[in-house]
Amino acid sequence: MPELVVPSQRYKESFIEAVREAQMMASGLGDTLGRSAPGLEADFTMFLAELRRYEPGQRLPEGFVHSEALWLVDGENYLGRVSLRHTLNERLRTFGGHIGYEIRPSARRQGYGTLILRLTLNRARELGLDRVLVTCDVDNSGSRRVIEANGGVLEGEFQLDFYDKPIYRYWIQL
Ligand SMILES: CC(C)(COP(=O)(O)OP(=O)(O)OC[C@H]1O[C@@H](n2cnc3c(N)ncnc32)[C@H](O)[C@@H]1OP(=O)(O)O)[C@@H](O)C(=O)NCCC(=O)NCCS
């Protein structure tokens, strides 16, 4: 049964395999995490610690909000990742929202995108949030379907001066 977990050593091999997979397909993981597979092999412990650097209790860099990184896994297998921001600042209210997710390329189109958002909404509820903002590129049909399947209500389409594509902003009532 796939579940959302706190990133840990248990998934090291599978996570690194997913990074290699994404780099081969030149999509995802690499860009946001900015990590190479050899770098992760060498210091996965440091990487895990960095994933926790915005959690409550940590001192935040200027302009950051508290957030948590969670992974969707099935047994030992890494399937995808999500970042759940506990609050919004002005920037996130405009672009990025509360939740950002990604499914590893080989696991896409099997329902995991819809699942990772559903499980993250449960977590957001536990944290006491009453609604969350999720944004996506207008041309990201997969993500739009994921959001809409989870009850996303479109606020509108926006063109931002710092981003080249129009985006949609959706609110999900929890
Ligand atoms: C967007 C993403 C998370 C979707 O994950 P996924 O596991 O493929 O999603 P699902 O399998 O739950 O698919 C949900 C729906 O979207 C559709 N879909 C998925 N990818 C699609 C695509 N590239 N084009 C069109 N439709 C797509 C599925 O067929 C499914 O349709 P259905 O509701 O009719 O069954 C995944 O493609 C991804 O990680 N992309 C890169 C990162 C990203 O864009 N993150 C979101 C930022 S807002």
CATH assignment at residue 112? 3.40.630.30
Pocket flag, ligand 1, residue 152 (CB < 6 Å): no
Pocket flag, ligand 1, residue 82 (CB < 6 Å): no
State in Å: Cα 102 to ligand 1 middle.
Answer: 9
pLDDT along the chain (174 residues), means of 10: 98 95 69 74 95 94 96 98 98 98 96 98 98 98 98 98 97 98
Residue 30 confidence (pLDDT)? 46
Residue 26 confidence (pLDDT)? 67
Residue 24 confidence (pLDDT)? 80
Q: Do the domain assignments include residue 112?
A: yes
Q: Do the domain assignments include residue 94?
A: yes
Domain coverage including residue 49: 3-128
Residue 120 confidence (pLDDT)? 98
Q: Are 15 and 40 in contact (CB under 8 A)?
A: yes
Q: Do the domain assignments include residue 172?
A: no
Residue 33 confidence (pLDDT)? 59
Nearest residue (by CA) to ligand 1, atom 28, is 109
* Angstrom distance (rounded) from CA 16 to CA 85: 24
State in Å: Cα 44 to ligand 1 middle.
Answer: 28
Pocket flag, ligand 1, residue 97 (CB < 6 Å): no
Give the chain's domain count: 1
Pocket flag, ligand 1, residue 112 (CB < 6 Å): yes
Q: Do the domain assignments include residue 45?
A: yes
Residue 34 confidence (pLDDT)? 66
Q: Do the domain assignments include residue 36?
A: yes
Burial class (CB in 10 A: 0-12, 13-18, 19+), 105: middle
Q: Do the domain assignments include residue 93?
A: yes
Q: Do the domain assignments include residue 165?
A: no
Q: How many CB atoms lie within 10 A of CB 43?
A: 12
Pocket flag, ligand 1, residue 109 (CB < 6 Å): yes
Query: What distance lies between CA 19 and its chain's CA centroid?
Result: 15
Q: What is the SS3 assignment for 135?
A: strand
Residue 25 confidence (pLDDT)? 78
Sign of the Cα torsion 139, 140, 144, 147 reads negative
